[in-house]
Amino acid sequence: MNQATWTALDDYITDRFVPADPVLAAALADSAAADLPPHHVAPPQGKLLHLLARLMGARRILELGTLGAYSTIWLARALPPGGRVITLEFSPKHAAVARGNITRAGLDDVIELREGAAIDSLAQLVAEGAEPFDLIFIDADKPNNPAYVRGALQLARPGTLLILDNVVRNGGILDPASDAPGVQGTRDALDLLAAEPRVSATALQTVGSKGWDGFALALVIA
């Protein structure tokens, strides 16, 4: 078992279950051409996010960490007419690429990209009295994950699903003394979810083209 096998198997799954899509392909191509880091979810994971959103009948989705809007487009395409994604991105460069990809996808009226630090945008959404979101995908800078979980809980209702990406990091989160960036933040976020009576949570390890990583899922129950 090695990375080449995991990637080949992701390709095998993608061949079967993720139809070739010029809009998503162009979003990845433009992201790569602009030198954005290759941190987008893998195609089978994008489809999983899409299916989870459909399964829930999500109408309002919040995303932290847009990058080139690859996951954003997958999520937006799960919405019924009138649904909305708000996606938060700190980097003006990433936001510019994302805007181009969103426009090409024909999703300008569905996706609202808010530029700035996600901490500030979360506080702004709370201050605005934003309606609760149905699904919140947390995939920005990992050191802030505890603050993102707390912010997400303020914008949730019973029935909201929180999804955190990158909770395994090649096993890195097993090391309580790790100084790798993001490990402490993700460990603290998982501990916070474990101790939070408002959620019922689990986490799943994944392998694939993104290596060995994982998602945490937390259903808000109160």
Give the residue, chosen from 53, 62, 102, 118, that forms a contact with ligand SAH under the rule CB under 6 A: 118
- With b for 16 or more beta-carbon neighbours within 10 A and e for fewer, the 5-36 pattern comes to ebbeebbebbeeebeeeeebeebbebbeeeeb
Residue 118 partner contact from ligand SAH, Mg ion, ligand DHB, none using kind-dependent CB cut-offs of 5 to 8 Å: ligand SAH
What, of ligand DHB, ligand SAH, Mg ion, none, does residue 94 touch, CB below 5 to 8 Å by kind?
ligand SAH
| Choices 15-23, 52-60, 108-116, 132-140; region in contact with Mg ion by CB under 5 A | 132-140
Q: How far is the CB of 176 from ligand SAH (least distance, A)?
A: 24
Binding site for ligand DHB (CB under 6 A): 39, 139, 165-166
d(CA 27, CA 163): 22
Residue 51: HSE in the Cβ half-sphere, 13 Å Cα cutoff: 8
Distance of closest approach, residue 3 Cβ to ligand SAH, in angstroms: 19
* Residue 149 Cβ vs ligand SAH, minimum distance, rounded to whole Å: 14
| Token reading at 130 | 């934003």
C-beta closer to ligand SAH: residue 84 or 198 = 84
Of 57, 58, 53, 62, the residue nearest 153 (C-alpha): 62
Which is closer to ligand DHB, CB of 89 or CB of 165? 165
CB of 107 to ligand SAH, least distance (A): 14
Distance CA 67, CA 130 (A): 23
Count of other CB atoms within 10 angstroms of residue 154: 12
139 interacts with Mg ion by CB under 5 A: yes
Residue 33, CA distances (Å) to 26, 70, 94 in order: 10, 14, 12
Indicate whether 139 belongs to the interface with ligand SAH (CB under 6 A).
yes
